Chains A and B, each alone.
Chain A
Amino acid sequence: MPASPALEISGLVKRYGSRAVVDGIDLVALPGQVTAVLGPNGAGKTTTIECCEGLRQPDGGTVRVLGLDPVGDARELRPRVGVMLQDGGLPTAIKAREMLAHVATMYAEPRDTAELSERLGIDSFGGTTVRRLSGGQRQRLALAAAVIGKPELVFLDEPSAGMDPQSRHAVWDLVRELRDDGVAVVLTTHLMDEAEDLADHVVVIDHGTVIASGTVPSLVSSSDDRTLRFESTPGLRLGDLLGLTVTEPTPGAYTVVGNVGPSTVATLTAWLADRDALVTRLTVGRRTLEDVFLDLTGRSLR
């Protein structure tokens, strides 16, 4: 029997004024899985999550958190759902250690604060006031506060923003452990490697709607799932030499997408040799989540 969803969103709509920031989102997150919500800035990720946390009242659609209504059943849900806000939400005037201990007092049987502090490296700055912490330290403290109550479902809004690589891996390890314990983890991110390494399920959101969803492998592998990248003399005109789409995103750096095979590479290098163009770099690989993401959401800055 499949596990019943920890989070079930259908047709969610949230408007700010007349503008629909979230415009009909469907999303399901299961226990024991990491669900990553990907999207560019302003896509509606945080608003969606805040509707699930009971912090915003939806204008349309339904949200079910552990089978309950996040606003109407908030009292029952609060002990069972952990939240890490994007802006932290930490009081600034107290010491890190006191902050975590304070949140722990809200729960009947919280996690061991000492063990959690050690795991996330909070010990090293436990006596420092929150105001003086670095961005990455605050993020780790906020994550600790989100999981101190042994939640069944945690919402992590951009958990590793501003973190150094060591902190990020400590956070990822903790997220994996939560998942293995059967916790449903819902995280928003725009770090592709984070989604690719952590997520069992990815939902890509843009302009308030879901534009793709599935496992990472299912998203990155389509029929033409190889990418050939090479660097050489700028401004080469390959025409339909390879029978594949060739682009030159930056001068001298080319991308070939499609059914790239051994003969493709041979044809290309021979053609370049004829023109006395040296290849300084050539890679063939599967598409990354970033490729998929940029294809879906476009490359223009917003």
Chain B
Amino acid sequence: MSTRSSAGAAPAPRRVLAQTGFEARAILRNGEQLLVTIIVPVLVLVGLTKATGLTFDTDGMSRVDFFTPGVLALAIMTSSFTSQAIASAFDRRNGVLRLLSTTPLGRGGLLAGKILGVLAVEVVQVVVITTTALVLGWQPNRAGLLLAVVAVVLGTAAFTSLALLVAGTLRAEAVLAVANLVLLLLAVAGGVIVPADRLPGPMAHIALLLPSGALGDAMRETLWHGSLPAWSVVVLVGWTAALGWGASRLFRWH
């Protein structure tokens, strides 16, 4: 027998924490990812608040009060869906997922690191967007702040599941296209920035069933009126269960 013995793995929390920092830095250092996750939402917020010649019924609210919750929802989608799907798809193609899964981190640790990495990026997004909104005069309903965090977590779960489903089943180049296209479609017609009930025709009903519409409504209701709508919770949990199940069944590591 060999007399050598391996020193073993680092403790699990340290491994996951290291991977969390690794994932978050990878996103925040990447120019395109930074553009999609931070700069675009800020520009959308400033544009919607400051643009002249734009007429919009804001239910008597200031524009910044009306739009900030939706912009936060949009930002959550960029980090938990678009950015995560693209990063994971290329990591999968380049063998990064396979290599890291052979280290003591393992597949579970890798997944945990990815999810926590998204949450870390979201903290940065929320700080930047909230600061911008406050400068623009935003006055959120304080009673809803904690509930808004719950909405963010539920939305992140649903969209991260979708990201992993897409990243684990399609080619990396296809993911690049799909992740950006889906983001654009949902942002425009998915009830994110424009509330579902303001959308034209059947989209008003369809958007209510989409995770984007549910997240948008959840952010608006919590930050406008201080209450989390049960319907949004049901829709987001349902999508998370379905997409998570699909991702765990269909995700291909090779």
| Stretch from B9-17, B59-67, B205-213, B242-250 forming part of the interface with A | B9-17
Question: B103 — which chain A residues lie within 8 A by C-beta?
Answer: 78, 83, 103, 106-107, 149
Question: B30 — which chain A residues lie within 8 A by C-beta?
Answer: 93
Chain A nearest CB: distance from B124 CB in Å? 17
Question: A81 — which chain B residues lie within 8 A by C-beta?
Answer: 102
- With A78-B103, A79-B104 as contacts: A152 and B4 at CB distance below 8 Å: yes
Which residue from A3, A85, A87, A109 sits with its C-beta under 8 Å from B1? Answer: A3
- With A78-B104, A107-B10, A108-B8 as contacts: A152 and B2 at CB distance below 8 Å: yes
A296 to B245, CA, bound (A): 48
Interface flags for B5-30 (1: CB within 8 Å of A; 0: not) read: 11111110011001000100110011
Q: Is the CB of A152 within 8 A of B99?
A: no
A6 to B97, CA, bound (A): 25
Q: Is the CB of A88 within 8 A of B94?
A: yes
Interface flag for B187 (CB, 8 Å): no
Which residue of A is nearest B103, CB measured?
Answer: A106
Interface flag for A169 (CB, 8 Å): no
Interface flags for A80-105 (1: CB within 8 Å of B; 0: not) read: 11010101111111100000001101
A85 to B101, CA, bound (A): 12
Q: Is the CB of A106 within 8 A of B10?
A: yes
Question: B3 — which chain A residues lie within 8 A by C-beta?
Answer: 182
Question: B95 — which chain A residues lie within 8 A by C-beta?
Answer: 85, 87-90
Question: B167 — which chain A residues lie within 8 A by C-beta?
Answer: none
- With A31-B2, A89-B94 as contacts: A54 and B10 at CB distance below 8 Å: no
- With A55-B101, A83-B99, A89-B99 as contacts: A78 and B4 at CB distance below 8 Å: no
A89 to B95, CA, bound (A): 4
Which residue of B is nearest A84, CB measured?
Answer: B99
Question: B4 — which chain A residues lie within 8 A by C-beta?
Answer: 150, 152, 181-183
Interface flag for B228 (CB, 8 Å): no
Question: A182 — which chain B residues lie within 8 A by C-beta?
Answer: 2-4
Which residue from B9, B22, B91 sits with its C-beta under 8 Å from A108? Answer: B9
Q: Is the CB of B8 within 8 A of A105?
A: no
Interface flag for A4 (CB, 8 Å): yes
Question: B10 — which chain A residues lie within 8 A by C-beta?
Answer: 105-108
Question: A68 — which chain B residues lie within 8 A by C-beta?
Answer: none
Which chain A residues numbered 11 to 44 have a C-beta less than 8 Å away from chain B? 31-32
Q: Is the CB of A91 within 8 A of B7?
A: no
Q: Which residues of A contact B (CB under 8 A)?
A: 3-4, 6, 31-32, 53-56, 74-75, 78-81, 83, 85, 87-94, 102-103, 105-110, 142, 145, 149-152, 181-184
Q: Which residues of B contact A (CB under 8 A)?
A: 1-11, 14-15, 18, 22, 25-26, 29-30, 90-91, 94-106, 253-254
Q: A108-B7, A152-B6, A184-B2 are in contact. List 15 more A-B contacts (CB 8 A).
A: A4-B1, A54-B102, A55-B101, A78-B102, A80-B6, A91-B22, A91-B91, A91-B96, A92-B94, A142-B99, A149-B6, A149-B103, A150-B4, A151-B6, A182-B2
State the 7 A-B residue pairs at the shortest beta-carbon distance, nearest first.
A89-B99, A109-B7, A89-B95, A79-B9, A182-B2, A31-B2, A83-B102
